[in-house]
Every structure is written in C-alpha cells, then in structure tokens.
Amino acid sequence: MKIVGNIEKARQFTRRRIAEGKTVALVPTMGALHEGHFSLIKAARNQCDAVIVSIFVNPTQFGPSEDLASYPSTPDADHLACERLGVDMIFAPDVGTMYGQDCLTEVRVKELSATMCGRDRPVHFAGVCTVVAKLFNIIPAHKAFFGAKDYQQAVIIRRMGADLNFPIEIVVCPTVREADGLALSSRNAYLSPQQRKQASALYASLKMADEMIRREHPPAGQVISAMQEHLAANAPDGRIDYMQILDPHTLRDVENTEQPVLVALAVKLGKARLIDNILVDESENRP
C-alpha cells in the first residue's frame, strides 16, 4: 500500500491503474476511521479493482466556531486499517497541497445546500463540494463511495457530479450502526458515558417516525412533535438543531407522508453534533 501526499503522484498512480484496464474506487474521508468507513472500503473493494482512500481534514467545511482544531486524528491506526482492508493507496495531502496559498475558487450547489445542515452551517457544503471536486480531478476514479448517514451530502455530491459532468459514479452505502442504533461517527468520541447512553434515542425516534408513517401516514408536523417528545424524555441533554421530513430527492420539507420521505435530524449532545436519518419508502425494505 502506498501513502502519497503529492497531487501529481496520486494522479499518476490512478492513471497507471486505469491504463492497466483496472476500475478505480475513491473513498473520501477525514480520517479517524471506524467501521462505517470500513464498510465503504469493503464495498469499494468488492466493486472495483483498485481502492484509493483519501484522508484529509478539510478546513473549508468548518465554520469559525466548529471543531476543526479538535477533530479526531488517528493516522497510525488509519494506515493499519487501510492496509488490512487491501487499500492500494492512501492520498493524505496537507492543507497547502490542496489549497495552495491563495485558492479563490469554490463550488456551491444551490437550494440543496440551504436546508438541513446547511441552515446553521452556511459554509459547510461549499467546503465539501470544493474539496470533493478537487479530489475527483486529482483522482479520476470510476466510482466514489459515500455513506447514507450523510444523506444530504450524498444528494449534493451526486447533483454536483451531474451538473459539472464528472465521469464518476456516486455509490451511497447503508449507514453502519452500533448495537443500540447509534450511527457510527468520528464525533461519537466526544460523548461522555451519560451522553452516549442518551444518544441511542436519536435512532429510536427515527424508528418511531418510520412506524408512524408506515402505519398511519400522519401529517409531518404530527410525526415531528412525537419525535421531539421522545427525545425530550430520553435525551434530556440533547439540543435539537433540526428535525425535518423531506422529499428525498429535492430535500424540500413536505407535510404529506403518503409518499417516500426522508426523516432527518441533527442533535447536539455536549461537544458532539450528531446527525442521522431514515428513508421511509414502502416500495423498499424497511431500513
């Protein structure tokens, strides 16, 4: 396994694999790898001949009061895990390599970025789209793998790829969860034991919403009120950032739940901001 921090070397590695007739997968990450990331790498390994994992904590997607300085970093463990999983190359650039001294360009996807996480994090998705666009240019892979926990991100990246004609397939893999349903996240490390116990209420509230919608199709506002009550009772230290029921394609709020809907939330527990979602679609299996 190669570990590369240079853009041209990463490009050359990718082009050589493509010239050899191999399909190439890209798994973009910010490191502090866990089983959720590993599931993406395994899916990439199953679908493609060569797997490249990028590890880069992207400063442009953090707001001024967010946790850039304290974001978890475990490079040695990340490298060992990637090697064990058969990764062919890690691309681990520094900030200067990715952005130079005076990068003036950013990529924005309008409308889709204005809801959910974008409401209180106005710079976030411009930072995400810009760095992912740069990665797609540096590593011209055939497929890129993302997790469904970051549903809004996946929708935005897919739209960016279509709008900017990137010849890359976006593959979205299922959310990986702890035994009690908590979605895996590098930020879970911020949780105290008490907060960690309360955090299981997030997925429990989503499952409750799923059952309500499938059983009765109540108005979205009624579902959200029930979720809020559940969180107030079971995660009293949690502060709701948002709780929405949306069209899964446009990410617009909906009131009618007799159609496929995305139920999504973000809750702050101590230093951790946790996001999760569930897709309620009666034409498919229960999530």
- Residues 2-34 pLDDT 10s: 999 999 999 999 999 999 999 999 999 999 999
Q: Above pLDDT 70, what percent of the chain?
A: 99
Domain at 2-173: CATH code:
3.40.50.620
Q: How far apart are CA 272 and CA 287, in angstroms?
A: 24
Q: Which residues contact 192 (CB under 8 A, 6 or more apart)?
A: 270
Q: Is the pLDDT of residue 277 over 70?
A: yes
Catalytic option among 37, 79, 124, 142: 37
User: What mean pLDDT comes out for the span 175-181?
Assistant: 98
Q: Which band of pLDDT confidence, cut at 50, 70 and 90, is reported for residue 284?
A: low
Domain at 186-279: CATH code:
3.30.1300.10
- Which pLDDT value is given to residue 285? 46
Q: What is the pLDDT of residues 52-89, one digit of tens each?
A: 999 999 999 999 989 999 999 999 999 999 999 999 99
Per-domain residue ranges of the chain: 2-173, 186-279
Crossing angle of the two packed helices 151-163 and 124-138, in degrees rounded to 10: 50
User: What mean pLDDT comes out for the span 89-98?
Assistant: 98
Both tokens of 263, joined, read: 């139920």
Q: Known catalytic residue: 37? A: yes
Q: Is the pLDDT of residue 264 over 50?
A: yes
Both tokens of 44, joined, read: 């990439």
Q: Is the pLDDT of residue 286 over 50?
A: no
User: What mean pLDDT comes out for the span 128-135?
Assistant: 98
